[in-house]
Amino acid sequence: MNENEVSNKIRGAIFKVYNTLGPGLLESAYEAALSYELQAAGLKVNQQVPLPLIYNEVRLDVGYRLDLLVEDKVIVEIKSVENIGEVHHKQVITYLKLSGIKLGLLVNFNCNEIDKSIFRKVNEL
């Protein structure tokens, strides 16, 4: 599967989780439910993947973690906040650059319309 195919499956799982749980829960609840749905769909999912920072050729373990890494191809950053800020978009782009991964999805489950709360981010490499 390529990144777009994985992304489409992730979007379907996001809708299923949102329609089942609705808004207002903690990010950890959505992460667990989304991970479950993706695994049930036959996808490889890793949660809370450590992401080191390489600075001047030195590996610095500063505690960055990817919420979900799906099929080793797509990062999913989960939020449950009142409003998605510019910093959230920049966070996903930075994670893409640090990891070398091409595609990321930013999703905010604390919303009224989930289809307007999924943002696709591409690493221009």
Structural domain of 39? 3-122
> How many structural domains comprise the chain?
1
Q: Return the pLDDT at 99.
A: 92
80-102 pLDDT tens trace: 999 999 999 999 999 999 999 99
Tokens representing 42 are 């036959």
pTM over 0.85, yes/no: yes
Does residue 125 have a pLDDT over 80? no
CATH number of the domain bearing residue 56: 3.90.320.10
Residue 109: partners with Cβ closer than 8 Å, 6 or more residues away: 17, 18, 21, 23, 25, 27, 30, 78, 79, 80, 117
Number of H helices, E strands in the chain: 3, 7
64 or 13, greater pLDDT: 13
Instruction: Find out whether 68 and 26 touch, Cβ atoms under 8 Å.
Output: no
Tokens representing 6 are 């994985």
6-46 pLDDT tens trace: 999 999 999 999 999 999 999 999 999 999 999 999 999 99
